[in-house]
């Protein structure tokens, strides 16, 4: 990575308040990348937000903030929307992305895999990640969430190899002309990123719904990193998206949160 991209050069601009009003005060086309995970309407116990709205009320609210988000996003920008479901609410991610269809084009669908078991040929099974137990006679364990990559026209160019992986069969490097001799290929849309192990939820994760900073970092890198890149998270929480963006050395990260307690924790975590 060039010296130009240094995390300590990233400006972190964390703002207390409602994101709709906050974005309304921003200039149009002033944001390159949005990485966010809004409330899922799954009755999660947030500090200052009611997470049990009627379905239509929730979806209409999402359209409201997404409309303002579209205004501040550049025409070639990327909007990475992390949404999960539950056994009792399985349609939510799909209903939400369909409701946003008049505003955005679904350019890519990524799967954030939190836990997985694989069996390499001729070898024992390997389980990796954090497996959340589920005691049910009807439902299986849900080990993934969606990341919808939304853009204005579906034509945003990406830096696919920025989160690429090496070829397992090295003979493919010379066999396939598109490699250009580079031992790296597109990772694809299944991203295995487990949570870090925590010893105390209250101390290590004092927020009921977080995602790993690495998830946001890969989103930003996939879009393409520049030293003047502006990244936005309308639902800042504990600033994991901001942390991931800062790890890329972007120019600026803007974040909103209505909860001053979460905002204070975010500032403390990242030294703002």
Place of tokens 């990772």: 187
pLDDT the model gives residue 233: 98
Tens of pLDDT along 67-115?
A: 999 999 999 999 999 999 878 789 999 999 999 999 999 999 999 999 9
The pLDDT mean for the chain works out to 87
Strand bridging mode 11-16 / 115-118: unpaired
pLDDT the model gives residue 239: 95
Domains within the chain, CATH numbers bracketed: 7-158+189-270 (3.40.50.150)
Contact 97, 106 (CB under 8 A): yes
Gap between the Cα atoms of 188 and 182, Å rounded: 17
Gap between the Cα atoms of 160 and 234, Å rounded: 25
Tens of pLDDT along 203-241?
A: 555 544 578 999 999 999 999 999 999 999 999 999 999
Strand bridging mode 115-118 / 31-36: unpaired
Tens of pLDDT along 102-153?
A: 999 999 999 999 999 989 888 999 999 877 777 889 988 889 999 999 999 9
**Percentage of the chain lying above the pLDDT 70 cut:** 88
Gap between the Cα atoms of 93 and 70, Å rounded: 19
Mean pLDDT of the region 155-163: 97
Mean pLDDT of the region 187-215: 72
> In the structure, what pLDDT confidence band is assigned to residue 20 with cuts at 50, 70 and 90?
very high
Gap between the Cα atoms of 68 and 75, Å rounded: 14
Q: Measure Cα distances from 241 to 93, 137, 177, 217 in Å.
A: 20, 36, 36, 7
Using the predicted structure, report yes or no on whether residue 28 has a pLDDT greater than 60.
Answer: yes
């Amino acid at each position: 990575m060039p010296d130009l991209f240094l995390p300590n050069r990233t400006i972190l601009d964390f703002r207390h308040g409602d994101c709709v009003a906050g974005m309304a005060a921003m200039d149009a086309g002033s944001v390159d990348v949005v990485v966010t995970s809004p409330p899922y309407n799954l009755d999660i116990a947030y500090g200052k937000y009611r997470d049990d709205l009627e379905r239509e009320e929730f979806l209409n609210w999402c359209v409201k903030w997404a409309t303002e988000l579209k205004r501040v996003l550049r025409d070639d920008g990327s909007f990475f929307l992390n949404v999960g479901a539950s056994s009792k609410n399985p349609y939510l991610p799909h209903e939400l992305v369909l409701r946003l269809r008049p505003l955005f084009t679904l350019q890519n669908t990524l799967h954030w895999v939190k836990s997985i078991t694989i069996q390499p040929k001729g070898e024992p099974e390997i389980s990796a990640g954090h497996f959340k137990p589920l005691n049910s006679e009807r439902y299986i364990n849900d080990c993934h969430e969606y990341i919808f990559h939304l853009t204005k026209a579906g034509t945003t160019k990406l830096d696919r190899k920025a989160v690429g992986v090496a070829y397992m069969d090295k003979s493919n490097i010379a066999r396939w002309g598109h490699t250009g001799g580079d031992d790296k290929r597109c990772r694809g849309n299944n991203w295995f990123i487990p949570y870090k192990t925590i010893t105390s939820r209250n101390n290590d994760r004092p927020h009921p719904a977080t995602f790993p900073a690495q998830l946001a970092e890969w989103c930003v890198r996939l879009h393409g990193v520049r030293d003047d890149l502006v990244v936005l998270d309308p639902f800042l929480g504990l600033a994991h998206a901001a942390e991931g963006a800062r790890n890329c050395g972007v120019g600026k990260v803007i974040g909103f949160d209505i909860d001053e307690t979460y905002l204070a924790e975010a500032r403390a975590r990242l030294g703002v």
